Amino acid sequence: MSFLRPFCRTTALAGAAITTLAFFTWISVLPLHAQSAISEFAKSDQPIASESIKPPDSAKREAPQTTGTGTLASVDQKSLTAKTIDKVKQVAKSASDIFSRVPCSPPKGGARAMGSLPHVASKLASGQPVEIIAFGSSSTAGYGTTSPEFTYPNRLAGQLRRQYPGVEISVVNRGKGGEDAAEMMKRLQIEVIDMKPDLVIWQVGTNAVLRNIDPDETAKQVEDGIKRIQAAGADLVLVDPQYSPRVNERAESANKMVKLLGRVAELRHVGIFPRFQIMRDWHEKQAIPIDNFVIADGLHMNDWGYACFAQLLGDDIIKSVGQIKLGVNLPAKVQAYRPM
C-alpha cells in the first residue's frame, strides 16, 4: 500500500491549489476598491469594514505535521476564505453606496471659482504625472475610517484617477495622529518638500485648539511652512479644523484659528478648504445629525464624512483644471472659498 502515499499527498496539494486558484480568480473580477481590501488583509491586521480580520487560532500554530499515514493536516482554509470573502463584500458595498445613504452636497453659498492651483491643474490638463501630498494629523491619517481605503487621500486619489484615466496620479498620505503645527514643521522638509510634490494639502489647527495652543503661534508656523512649500514650487491648499463636538467645546479658540488660517491663506495667495464651515453647513443648513458624519469620540469623521470631504475637495481641483483647459488661468490669489 506504500505506493499510494505519494498519490494521496499529491491529491491533497492539488486540491489546495485548486481552492487557492478559484479564490484569486474571484478576487480578479472584484472592483478595485474590493481588491484593495484583500491587499490590506494580506499585509496586516488592519480593520476592514467594521472589525479586524484575524486568522483562526489553528492558523497561528506551527505548520501541521504529516500524519503516520502520509495524509497532510491543514488549517480550515474554507472557513478563512469564506470570512475573507464576506468582509470584502461588506467593504465593496460600503464603498459603492455611501452617498446613497446620505448625499454629499456642497455648502450653500460662499463658493468661488478655484484659481489657486495653476501648477497641478496645468499638469493634469496636459496629462503629465502628478504627485500630491496630504500632510496633517489624525484626520489625514484616517482615524475613524473602517478601512484604510476610506481615508480622504485614498478617496481623493480614486476620484482624480476616474476623472483623468490617462494620467499617473499619486496621493501620498503624510498624516500623523496627534501632531500640531510645530510638530509637523519638524518633518516638513523630509516628508513633504524633498518629495517635490505638485500639490500639498495641509490639514492643520485642530490639535492646537484641543491643547489650548495660541492660534497666533500656529498661524505664524503655518505661514513659515507655506513660504517653504511655495519656494519649492508646489501648489498648496490649507484645510482648517473640523466642526465637531470636541472642537466646539473650545468655540472661541476654534473660531479664531479658522479666521487666522483663512487670513494667512489670503495673504500668501494659497487655496483654503474651509472644512469647519462645510461641516457646520452639513449640520445647520442640511440638517444632517452630527453623528452621521462624526464618530463616537466626538472629534473624528466617519467614512461618510471623509468621503464627502474628499469629494468636495476633488471637485474644486477638477474645476481648476477645467479653467486651465478653457484658457481661464485665474490669479493665484483667487481662492476656492471666501475666508470666514
List every span in the chain annotated with CATH 3.40.50.1110: 108-325
Contact call for residues 282 and 293 (beta carbons, < 8 A): yes
Distances (CA, A) of 157 to 150, 167, 194, 223: 11, 11, 21, 27
133, 52, 116, 101: which is closest to 330 by C-alpha?
Answer: 116
Which of 53-57, 68-72, 140-144, 187-191 shows the lowest mean pLDDT across its residues?
A: 53-57
Cα atoms found within 13 Å of the Cα of residue 52, Cβ hemisphere only:
7
Residue 299 has pLDDT above 80, yes or no: yes
The two beta strands, 47-48 and 51-52, are: antiparallel
At 136, give phi and psi (nearest 5°).
170, -150
- In the CATH scheme, what is the code of domain 108-325? 3.40.50.1110
Q: What is the mean pLDDT of residues 261-282?
A: 94
Q: What is the largest CA-CA distance in the chain?
A: 87
Q: State residue 110's pLDDT score.
A: 53
Q: What is the mean pLDDT of residues 109-117?
A: 58
Residue 152: CB atoms within 10 A of its CB come to 30
